[in-house]
Amino acid sequence: MTGDVKLKEKDKEKEVVFEVKDLNLWYGNDHALKDINLAIKKNQVTAIIGPSGCGKSTFIKTLNRMIENIPSVKITGEINYQGKSIFDKSVRVEELRTRVGMVFQKPNPFPKSIFNNVVYGPRIHGIKDKQVLMEIAETSLRQAALWDEVKDRLNDNAYGLSGGQQQRLCIARCLAVQPDVILMDEPTSALDPIATYKIEELMESLKKDYTIAIVTHSMQQAARISDETAFFLMGELIEFDKTTEIFSNPKDQRTEDYITGRIG
Amino acid sequence: MLDHKMLKNKMLDKDRISRRIRLNSFIRSLFSFSTIFSLLVLGVLLYQVGVDSIGWLDLKFLTSNLSIFPEKAGIYGAIIGTVMMMLIVIPVTTILGVSTAIYLEEYAKKGKLQYFINVNISNLASVPSVIFGLLGLTVFGRLLNLGSSILAGGLTMSLLVLPIVVVSAQEAIRAVPGYLREASYAMGASKWTTIWKVVLPVAIPGILTGTILAMSRAIGETAPLVVLGIPTLIMKIPNSVMSDFTALPIQIYYWTLDSVLKPEYANLAAATIVVLLVILFVMNSTAVLIRNKFQQKF
């Protein structure tokens, strides 16, 4: 099944991680996602852009089924994760979310120490050895480019960190669970340009080991960091292509209007 | 077209402005009078009780047993009774109350049934304590044949304060921001793991504050115990949960009633009131301290 998509995309070396087919989603009677078809490929950054309320956050939260925490949500269609439907009865959301991590719009560390924030995931998944936890904490914080700033105060409360540091802590916390995919829902929208720059740099280095899907408000950000870009408008996927294509040679008029700032 | 000039003159009318200012100062004095009045009444009551207890409240009063002779009487038995009753009330209400709150807030489907249960719990919190006394008398006293024992009293009191504990625990749990739960779920945590590791640690100060306030209500309540038929005069110190007992508010009640027979009983009641007030004051201050110390800054 994934083979077809690979051929279609003419990109044989890239393996498909998420394959979305005819996805529709409703909040009560509000049709929020309409017939979405796209593929998220391994070890690259897929950006999802579009104006507010276009369904991009809804879409990314569907990939790890966090959207189901909202009671009125109804979903049809298919999402395959590594060839298997995530809506299958045998799939447990706990397992899916361990493999598919998420970083939120607003930094949301727990009111605990920096160390306890990072090792929260490994701990709940049964790793108790203090030595191992310490190593996980160091590795994850290094990957999130935060280690040097916090190594001397791992036992301080995470709320003492700046907004940008908190967001990198959340990324480290997400990495500590060793996911395959990281979903990012506007991770830099609450941050200043320098903190944003650090996180963008970080994504560049993370894509060697992880697959990243990022929702972003900023077209410049999508252009800077992503390999492929999906443009959503009013719940529809208007265009999905290589980022260079989308920004230099958009096929759809609406995409062009959006990226040139005429709408949105 | 609006006549702007007319409107402007009207709004700048000196008489109107000074009338509004006068009204404001009148309202202010009215409200401050209400505050001062209640404080004054409270002050007079405390003063009266304090004066009446002078000479009666000493260590001997706290450590002696009950007696029909005012000079010999003490409240040792009542203190033990209250303490033993609370040893039943505290575990019963915290375990049942917090579990119920967690179920209603985190597990129960948000819908008509959950709303119905919530409204009823809030209503129960305002049912007069006499009604709970009657319920306790019927179920624990008569049906389960526990009589007027500490167990019957403790369970009745638990019923009385349970709704308060549930409501305050629900509020504390509801105040935990959703984005903390989301962070936990997004790492593959189950609901219970999230409740245990994220929600409860944040909610505990609020739960504790509500629980302590509920406990001080249980210590001060009289009516349910009167309805249960706590005997007027108990000479024996209770030694098990099945013993008959007396508690501090009951002691105050009976001594006040009996002060027509011997005026000294009024002084004993006053001394007991002081003891009870001190206990309540300490408990409520603890609740306030906990709230201030752990108040989350979200």
Q: Which chain A residues in 139-168 lie under 8 Å from chain B, judged by CB atoms? A: 159
pLDDT score for A63: 96
Whether residues B99 and B226 fall in one domain = yes
User: What local confidence, expressed as pLDDT, does residue A186 receive?
Assistant: 93
Separation of alpha carbons A95 and B117, rounded Å: 34
Chain A residues in contact with B179 by the CB 8 A cut-off are: 104, 106, 108
Is A215 contained in some domain? yes
- State the pLDDT confidence band at A39, using cuts at 50, 70 and 90: very high
Question: CB under 8 Å to B193, separation ≥6 — which residues?
Answer: A124, B184
pLDDT tens for each residue of B146-188: 988 999 999 999 999 999 999 999 999 999 999 999 999 999 9
CA distance, residue B12 to nearest chain A CA (Å): 46
Which residues of chain B neighbour A121 with C-beta distances below 8 Å?
Answer: 187-189
State whether residue A67 sits within 8 Å of chain B by CB. Answer: no
Nearest chain A CA: its distance from B58 CA (Å) = 47
* C-alpha of A215 from chain center: 7
Pairing of β A30-41 and β A45-49: unpaired
Exposure b/e, B228-263, CB count within 10 A at least 16 = b: bebeeebeeebeebebbbbbbbbbbbbbbebbeeee
Q: Alpha helix (H) ranges present in chain A?
A: 2-8, 56-63, 93-99, 114-118, 120-124, 130-143, 147-150, 163-175, 193-206, 219-225, 243-248, 253-259
One domain for residues B45 and B64 = no
Check residue A13 and give its pLDDT: 61
Among A50, A52, A48, A45, smallest CA distance to A62 is for: A48
Is residue B89 pLDDT above 90, yes or no? yes
For chain B, the residue count is: 298
Q: Is the pLDDT of residue B239 over 90?
A: no
Helix, strand, or coil (residue A29): coil
In the structure, what pLDDT confidence band is assigned to residue B231 with cuts at 50, 70 and 90? Answer: confident
Q: What is the pLDDT of residues A127-171, one digit of tens each?
A: 999 999 999 999 999 999 999 999 999 999 999 999 999 999 999
Pair of tokens at residue B177: 């921001």
**For residue A203, what are its two tokens?**
């994504």
Size of interface A-B (CB pairs under 8 A): 64
pLDDT tier for residue B109 given thresholds of 50, 70 and 90: confident
- Per-residue model confidence (pLDDT) at position B58: 87
- The verdict on B159 and B265 lying in the same domain is yes
Structural domain including B282 reads 59-294
Put simply, the answer to whether B190 touches A94 (Cβ < 8 Å) is: yes
Q: Which CATH number belongs to the domain containing residue A250 in this structure?
A: 3.40.50.300
**Residue A248 amino acid letter:** S
Calculate what percentage of chain B has a pLDDT beyond 90. 61
**Interface with A, mutate which of B187, B199, B295 (most A CBs under 10 A):** B187
Q: Determine, for residues B197 and A120 on separate chains, whether the beta-carbon distance falls below 8 Å.
A: yes
Inter-helix orientation angle A130-143/A163-175, to 10°: 120
Averaged over A5-15, what is the pLDDT?
57
Smallest CA–CA separation between A92 and chain B, in Å? 9
Percent of chain A with pLDDT over 90: 83
C-alpha–C-alpha distance, residues A184 and A104, integer Å: 6
Please give the full DSSP string across B105-129, using - where no structure is assigned. IIIS-SSHHHHHHHHHHHHHTTS-H
Write down the pLDDT at residue A1.
Answer: 44
Distance from CA of A160 to the nearest CA of B (A): 12
A126 at interface of B, judged by CB pairs closer than 8 A: no
Please check whether residues B40 and B106 belong to one and the same domain. Answer: no
A64-74 residue pLDDT tens: 999 999 989 99
Q: B212: burial class by Cβ within 10 Å (0-12, 13-18, 19+)?
A: buried
Mean pLDDT of B65-69: 82
Q: Greater confidence, A9 or B206?
A: B206
pLDDT of residue A12: 52
For B168, other C-beta atoms within 10 Å of its C-beta total 23
Contacts of B186 in chain A (CB under 8 A): 64, 66, 97, 101-102, 104, 174
Pairing relationship of beta strands A211-215 and A45-49 according to DSSP bridges: parallel
Chain A CB contacts of B205 below 8 Å = none
pLDDT of amino acid A3: 47
Residue B288 to residue B154: CA distance in whole angstroms: 25
* pLDDT (mean) for B196-201: 94
* Candidate from B182, B202, B297 with C-beta closest to A108: B182
Look at residue B116 in the predicted model and tell me its pLDDT: 93
Residue A114 pLDDT > 50: yes
Alpha helices of A65-119 — where are they, by DSSP H? 93-99, 114-118
Q: Cα separation of B54 and B70, whole Å?
A: 14
Domain count for chain A: 1
| Residue in A66, A110, A112 nearest the CB of B185 | A66
Tell whether B198 is within 8 A of chain A (Cβ).
Answer: yes
The reply to whether A5 falls in a domain is no
Whether A86 is in a domain gets the answer no
How large is the average pLDDT for residues A214-241?
93
Please report, for residues A23, A79, A102, B56, B99, the alpha-carbon distance to residue A60 in angstroms, rounded to integers and kept in the order given. 12, 12, 9, 73, 34
User: Residue B29: which of B39, B19, B37 has the closest Cα?
Assistant: B37
CA A167 to chain CA centroid, nearest Å: 13
- B268: enclosing H helix or E strand: helix B264-294
**CA nearest neighbour of A60 among A203, A212, A250, A222:** A212
Same domain flag for B46 and B77: no
Instruction: Judge whether A101 is closer than 8 Å to chain B, CB to CB.
Output: yes
Taking the CA of residue A255 and the nearest CA in chain B, the distance in Å comes to 31
Mean pLDDT, rounded, for A182-190: 92
Is B285 touching A (CB cutoff 8 A)? no
- Mean pLDDT, rounded, for A108-137: 95
- Residue A41, pLDDT above cutoff 90: yes
B223 touches chain A (CB under 8 A): no
Is position A193 within any domain?
A: yes
Instruction: Examine residue A83 and state whether it is found in any structural domain, yes or no.
Output: no
**Same domain? B258 vs B285:** yes
Q: What phi and psi, each to the nearest 5 degrees, are found at residue A183?
A: -100, 130
Is residue A7's pLDDT more than 60? no
Measured CA to CA, the distance from residue A121 to residue A98 in angstroms comes to: 8
Between residues A12 and A113, the one the model is more confident about: A113
- Residues in chain B within 8 Å Cβ distance of A97: 185-188
Phi, psi of A181 (to 5 degrees): -120, 145
| One domain for residues B95 and B147 | yes
Partner residues linked to A76 by β-bridges: A24
Same domain membership, residue B33 and residue B143: no
Record: contact A177-B188, CB cut-off 8 A: yes
- Residue A186 in any domain: the answer is yes
Residues B116, B237, single domain; the answer is yes
Mark whether B86 and B209 lie in a shared domain: yes
The CATH code of the domain that includes B153 is: 1.10.3720.10
B-chain residue closest to A94, CA distance: B188
Average pLDDT of chain A is 91
- In total, how many domains does chain B have? 2
> Model confidence at B123, in pLDDT bands (50, 70, 90)?
very high
3-class DSSP state of B143: helix
For B254-283, what is the mean pLDDT? 91
Nearest CB to B183 within list A64, A98, A110? A110
Enclosing domain of residue A255 = 43-64+98-259
Q: pLDDT grade, residue A264 (50/70/90)?
A: low
